[in-house]
Structure 1
């Protein structure tokens, strides 16, 4: 080849050129041959639908279809298929299928995944389908056990106050350091701060139970915790055991006495409840100590009783937390 020769590169063969994306047709009822428009999802699924139904469901679609052609909007049809105008949308097929099924007189499927619910709510807001929020509230509520903070974030973002309150209560079951979710991008600083304030109020109320003594008198509370009404007596008995029993470190006026392990347990649980106000903390097996009673205590039938004691405390903590007002988050 001479110095002045120009190298000619071969053209790519047809087999190496990028193929157009395959267009798929949606299943019934969105394959109706009598439809008058096609909505195409972002993943190239065509839904053959009726303008009239879309007008009734969405004010955005209603405005679009009332404008003369060509439509000066991002929802304008830019091609045709099967003789019908095609409108390309940003939503994927799953999201679009749910919204259309909700709009049509057909059964609407249940949604379990929080991410899917979020995408549908985003689309509902975009197209002005406000009534869809209430329909999805039940699906969103069912996700609180798997992702309480995520549900809280989504609910506050879309103004679903009842669901947000439910999620806030369920979030108390998680330690503060485990409050995380993939949906945190929907959570505003205002809502998160309100959630932390609510959690702090619950922690204060729950922790205070460990320093109260009114619940010691419950009939199901083990009698191993007693008031020393006089020298050498617990209640009506004359039993006293300096080896096993110590005085209450907080309420000295009533002179409650119990094994030291009880007071240590209450102190530890009270500290933990401040940041994690939930009955699961009280019932945590790792916190419950053992008490080996002396011979006199065993003879007096003052057995351990920790299981009953912790159950009573858990019920009191649950009741105390339930009394804390849940604020408005939205």
Structure 2
């Protein structure tokens, strides 16, 4: 026979919606000293040591005298899904699931970690929110979770990875519906979405300015084509700051101008400086000038593009998320 303790925020007595069922391993050990029952009536057999080590709330509760030696049953308001993930975070690392935690799961478990004062669980959640899976596929949702729980450092990293995705705009009825779906699917409040949009805009400006400020590229004359290009840029490219009156090959000026404009609306380094765009520039270079045909590939692939990419990434990292 087991004793029962109720931990719930409900004002009325707990009533199970259906007969209790046993949780799967590792929460089915008959030697466990306590049973935690979820809101959907799933019973988790847990060892007190792991629970007390992770949560001060449970540690205090478990320190109280018990009416019998039988395992006590504690009714909780969390669902079995949330409770299982929370308890897995309390158990040794070998018990953790191999599949990635989704941002929505992390948010639910983070709430439980706050409720039960489990800082070690929160620390673990702040690590896995930045898993490769979440950053590549769920970066906006991950950012929303980080902001919600004021994980500022993680929020900045997640926001940086959202630059790989274009954010929807609400300029018409169709795009308004698309934006609403985007907000709901990523569980991001509208005010936070506006803040993220502003961050994207400022990142676009920072990335675009790198292409307009070319003194860093011109300062490496030994790594530029040493011949005189047969087709130098025309006056419309005079907006580039080259640190002097140096003229640029027309194909090169076209490439920098195009990428600079693309960065303004899409500050994704991998997309804007994609291999196909560099290859297109080299094809034009070869058609425009016989000297560039041989010199441009080495200059672009070994020197300019890697530096360009590095400087844009550095400029993006310096953009503040919260202003």
TM-score norm. by structure 2 comes to 0.68
Superposition deviation, residue 322 in structure 1: 1.5
Question: 2:100 is paired with a residue of what secondary structure?
Answer: coil
What are structure 2's unaligned runs of at least 5 residues? 1-16, 170-178
Residue by residue over 1:108-165, the C-alpha shift from the partner in whole angstroms, topping out at 9 and shown as x without a partner, is 4155131332322222123232331111222111121222111111111122222112
The count of residues paired between Structure 1 and Structure 2 equals 280
Q: Distance in 2 between matches of 1:199 and 1:106?
A: 37
Aligned to 2:109: 120
Aligned to 2:125: 136
Aligned to 1:327: 320
Aligned to 2:137: 146
Question: 1:177 is paired with a residue of what secondary structure?
Answer: coil
Of 83, 100, 115, the match for 2:87: 100
2:144 is the counterpart of 1:156: no
* 1:219 to 1:113, Cα distance in 2 relative to 1, 3 A: farther
Q: Specify the structure having the higher radius of gyration (Cα).
A: 1
Aligned to 1:318: 310
Question: 2:154 is paired with a residue of what secondary structure?
Answer: helix
Question: 1:46 is paired with a residue of what secondary structure?
Answer: strand
2:74 is the counterpart of 1:87: yes
Q: Distance in 1 between matches of 2:141 and 2:164?
A: 14
Q: Distance in 2 between matches of 1:59 and 1:34?
A: 23
Compare the two structures and name the one with the higher helix fraction. Answer: 2
Partners of 2:113 and 2:121 within 8 A in 1: yes
Partners of 1:173 and 1:277 within 8 A in 2: yes
Q: Distance in 2 between matches of 1:100 and 1:138?
A: 17
Residue by residue over 1:180-225, the C-alpha shift from the partner in whole angstroms, topping out at 9 and shown as x without a partner, is 5766435572x545544443332222111222232044368551xx
Aligned to 1:230: none
Partners of 1:39 and 1:47 within 8 A in 2: yes
2:233 is the counterpart of 1:246: yes
Q: Distance in 1 between matches of 2:21 and 2:287?
A: 79
* 1:105 to 1:141, Cα distance in 2 relative to 1, 3 A: closer
Residue by residue over 1:64-83, the C-alpha shift from the partner in whole angstroms, topping out at 9 and shown as x without a partner, is 667899xxxxxxxxxxxxx7
Aligned to 1:212: 213
Aligned to 1:72: none
* 1:314 to 1:136, Cα distance in 2 relative to 1, 3 A: same
* 1:200 to 1:294, Cα distance in 2 relative to 1, 3 A: closer
* 1:212 to 1:182, Cα distance in 2 relative to 1, 3 A: same
* 1:245 to 1:200, Cα distance in 2 relative to 1, 3 A: same
Superposition deviation, residue 167 in structure 1: 1.0
Of 263, 267, 271, the match for 2:257: 267
Aligned to 2:202: 201
Aligned to 1:24: 21
Residue by residue over 1:251-291, the C-alpha shift from the partner in whole angstroms, topping out at 9 and shown as x without a partner, is 595141313x4333322221111122232212262583432
